[in-house]
Amino acid sequence: MSNIRNFVIIAHIDHGKSTLADRFLEITNTISKSKLENQFLDKMSLEKEKGITIKMHPCQMKYKLNDTEYILNLIDTPGHADFNYEVSRALKAVEGAILLVDVTQGVQAQTLANLYLAQKQGLKIIGCLNKIDLTAFNRDEIKKDVSRILNIEEKDIFMVSAKTGEGVDELLKKVIEYVEPPKISNDKPLRALIFDSKFDPYRGVLAYVRVFDGEVKNNDDIYLLMQKEKSKVIECGIFKPDLIVTNNLKSGEIGWIATGLKDPGLVKVGDTITLKKYIDDNQLVEPLAGYKEPQPMVFSGFYPESNDEFELFAKSLAKLKLNDASFTYEPEANEALGRGFRLGFLGILHYEIITLRLQREYGLNLITTIPMVPYKIILLNDKEIFVNKPNDFPENNQIKLIKEPYVELKILTPSKYLNSIISLMPNFRATQTHLETLQSDLILITYELPLSELILDLYDSLKSASQGFASMIYEILDYRETDVQKLDVLVHHEKEESLSFIVPAARVEREAKKLTARLKEIIPPQNFALAIQVARDGLIISRETIPALKKDVTGYLYGGDRTRKMKLWKKQQRGKKRLASIGTVNIPPEVYHKLFLNKKD
């Protein structure tokens, strides 16, 4: 029987996954107490700052039980719905999972979503309630909920405090007893599944792998089956959680391979690594089942503030793509903003995190356009096109039908907030399709609504309506007919393509007025009056005027006839009029930042 156990911790956001991982590291003496910081595996500054896990984090631990030393490969996973792709990749590399539930909050929407992913993968799942050191909870009711969703006895649910360590040792023993060991097949041709990767300037692309068959060693000639790319192993090893060189990896193990490849585009998550000799000998090596390509559903244009940074931006995106395979990018150009890229994301938090990582990890100063969902447009000639930026929207007289993506949204809430949520959702074009009462006074409400509504401020509105107690998950359904319109923004009578946006027809006037008012606040005044207009099909539907900068041209006069002052004022007016007729307006980058990232003055 193998002494290896590969497992993950899955949970809703902020239910204590990373803190439980800390206790595992402490109990197994993987990290000494003097070096162990809170949320030790969360290495990114953004993870520390936001208190959430963004990237999966593998780590190998050793634990002795009944005179046998076990190798425990743990992967700590994110909890937010936008990072489900990270979770799904981690699940393919393991045989078991700890489903962690905060005993003060109970089962949440993302608890269910991660559970379904683990069950679909056929993993052995251990139920566990965390934060039992706190007193304000109904332990029995939460236990019933967890036993029901896992279909196990209440006595089989572990009670732990990741903060104090209570019950954690017993949980680790349960992992060894319950999670199945990996099937070992060292005598077969090498097959290692790439589940993540990162770029190292000295060793090239580091592929994070789960070895299913065979063995790989330093200096082996390897071959990537999907990319049809060959290379030589510079080094390989395990996570402790830092990269430790072991010179070989065998079947059943989780580790990393330094491929030496300098082009980030050559190593793809989901590819299978084998040895080149098997390909040379024409041996059939079946690639491992990879991952379903994630479909980005939120798009935004990204432009460096200086055109000199474009090449750096392009290289940074390629490296970041290695570490986050779930976003996409393609080049685009904008008359006002210059050269940039159109990026696609899984959700609005994903958009925010990628933006911050590009700024902090790669030192880029970027302008981003307003996030937008993709629209499916059927033209009058029945040609079907997908549009993910306003500038590509056809004229109304060319459009036969417009469809937008819909989602199924599930909201889990205590029953006392039910009425508030039901009153809120019609504002977001949502249709209720199901309502189910769960145990412990929990209500599960299902809605269908446009994805575009979800990426606005639905999350914040839901938290406000439920005082923070409701949680939600969503799944893309299909494209459905909709009535949306493109609005153009004119600054000093010149169309600013980078400010165009798409809104539901019913909210055109409201959104137009809101935008002109906001632009009036954030566009700097000029020496002449500046018109800010929003137009639909060439018709102006909203306007604001930014007054010209004022200069007291009569300040040096003291007393005297008012006629002299009138002459100076009229001369000033003529000057402003002449400036307005010939003047141009360059919108500074900070305007885009304030508008699209909702920054206040």
Instruction: State the DSSP code for 427.
Output: G
Answer yes or no: is pLDDT of 226 > 90.
no
For 474, the token pair is: 């969503």
3-state class (DSSP) for residue 465: helix
* Domain residue ranges in the chain: 4-178, 191-280, 298-368, 376-481, 485-596
560: its two tokens: 């005297």
Q: What is the per-residue pLDDT for 31?
A: 78
**pLDDT > 70? residue 415:** yes
Q: Is 438 exposed, middle or buried (0-12, 13-18, 19+ CB in 10 A)?
A: middle
The continuous run of DSSP H or E covering 19 comes out as: helix 17-27
Using pLDDT thresholds of 50, 70 and 90, give the confidence band for residue 348. Answer: confident
| 72 or 441, higher pLDDT | 72
Here the tokens at position 85 are 């792709």
Q: Provide the token pair at 519.
A: 């632009």
Name the CA dihedral angle for 325, 326, 330, 335, rounded to a multiple of 10 degrees: -130
Nearest to 379 by CA among 366, 355, 397: 397
Residue 229 has pLDDT above 80, yes or no: yes
Question: What pLDDT does 405 receive?
Answer: 93
More confident residue, 561 or 303: 303
Please say whether the beta carbons of 210 and 254 come within 8 A.
yes
Strand partners, 473: 410
| CA–CA dist 130, 99 (Å, integer) | 10
- The per-residue pLDDT for 435 is 92
pLDDT in tens, 542-564: 998 888 766 665 555 666 666 76
Is the model's pLDDT at 83 over the cut of 90? Answer: no
CA distance 209 to 376: 37
Identify the residue whose tokens are 């479909």: 295
Per-residue pLDDT at 55: 66
Q: Do the beta carbons of residue 353 and residue 86 sit within 8 Å?
A: no
**Whether 593 contacts 599, CB under 8 Å:** yes
**Residue 601 pLDDT level (bands cut at 50, 70, 90):** very low
Question: Strand, coil or helix: what is 599?
Answer: coil
Cβ-contact 327, 321 below 8 angstroms: yes
Which has the minimum average pLDDT: 40-44, 119-123, 379-383, 556-560?
40-44
Arithmetic mean of pLDDT over the chain: 84
Range with the poorest average pLDDT among 222-231, 361-370, 481-490: 361-370
- Distance CA(118)–CA(496), nearest Å, equals 47
The alpha carbon of 325 is separated from its chain's Cα centroid by a whole number of angstroms, namely: 11
* pLDDT tops 60 at residue 204: yes
Task: Please tell me the predicted confidence (pLDDT) of residue 559.
Answer: 61
Say how many C-beta atoms besides its own lie within 10 A of residue 205's C-beta.
Answer: 23
Instruction: Supply angle C-alpha 178, 180, 185, rounded to 5.
Output: 160
Does position 599 have pLDDT exceeding 50, yes or no? no
For the beta carbon of residue 133, count every other beta carbon within 10 angstroms: 13
Confidence of residue 593 (pLDDT cuts 50, 70, 90): low
* Per-residue pLDDT reduced to its tens digit, 466-521: 887 788 888 888 999 999 988 888 888 888 877 888 889 888 899 899 888 888 88
pLDDT at 276 over 60: yes
How many angstroms separate the CA atoms of 31 and 17, rounded?
Answer: 17
- What's the pLDDT band for 449 if we cut at 50, 70, 90? very high
- Determine the average pLDDT of the residues in 400-422: 91
Q: What is the pLDDT of residue 498?
A: 77
Answer whether 298-368 and 485-596 agree in fold.
Answer: yes
Lowest mean per-residue pLDDT among 111-120, 280-289, 427-436, 587-596? 587-596
- Looking at domain 4-178, its CATH superfamily turns out to be P-loop containing nucleotide triphosphate hydrolases (3.40.50.300)
Closest CA to 275 of 208, 186, 191: 191
Q: Residue 145: pLDDT above 80?
A: yes
* Architecture in CATH for domain 485-596: 2-Layer Sandwich (3.30)
Helical packing angle, 310-323 and 348-362, nearest 10°? 120
Given a contact cutoff of 8 angstroms between Cβ atoms, the answer to whether 480 and 403 are in contact is yes
Closest CA to 316 of 257, 365, 268: 365
Using DSSP's 3-state secondary structure scheme, residue 453 falls into: helix
Looking at 457-552, which runs of residues are DSSP E strands? 471-481, 484-491, 494-495, 501-504, 530-536, 539-546
- pLDDT on residue 476: 86
For the chain, what percent of residues have pLDDT higher than 90? 31
Q: Quick check: 291 pLDDT over 60?
A: yes
Assign 52 a pLDDT band (cuts: 50, 70, 90): low
Q: What is the mean pLDDT of residues 281-296?
A: 82
Tokens coding 236: 């390989």
What pLDDT, on the 0 to 100 scale, is given for residue 36?
64
- 315 and 341 in contact (C-beta within 8 Å)? no
* CA dist., res. 63 & res. 524, Å (int): 63
pLDDT of residue 79: 59
Give the pLDDT confidence score for residue 389 in this predicted structure: 85
In CATH, the number for domain 191-280 is 2.40.30.10
Facing residues of 572 across strands? none
The reported pLDDT for the residue numbered 378 is 93
Q: How far apart are CA 93 and CA 110, in angstroms?
A: 21
pLDDT of residue 569 exceeding 90: no
Name the DSSP letter for residue 372.
Answer: B
How many whole angstroms separate alpha carbon 426 and alpha carbon 448?
11
pLDDT interval class at 600 (50, 70, 90)? very low
**Higher-scoring residue by pLDDT: 468, 52:** 468
Query: Can you tell me the mean pLDDT for 100-129?
Result: 87
Q: Answer yes or no: are the C-beta atoms of 398 and 460 closer than 8 Å.
A: no
Separation CA 386–CA 365 (nearest Å):
29
- Residue 513: its H or E element: helix 508-522
CATH of domain 376-481: 3.30.70.240
Q: What one-letter code names the amino acid at 303?
A: Y
Domain 298-368 part of CATH 3.40.190.10: no
125 forms beta bridges with 97
- 114 pLDDT band, cuts 50/70/90, is confident
User: Which long-range contacts link 29-38 to residues 24+ away (Cβ below 8 Å)?
Assistant: 30/59, 30/60, 30/61, 30/62, 30/240, 30/241
pLDDT of residue 354: 87
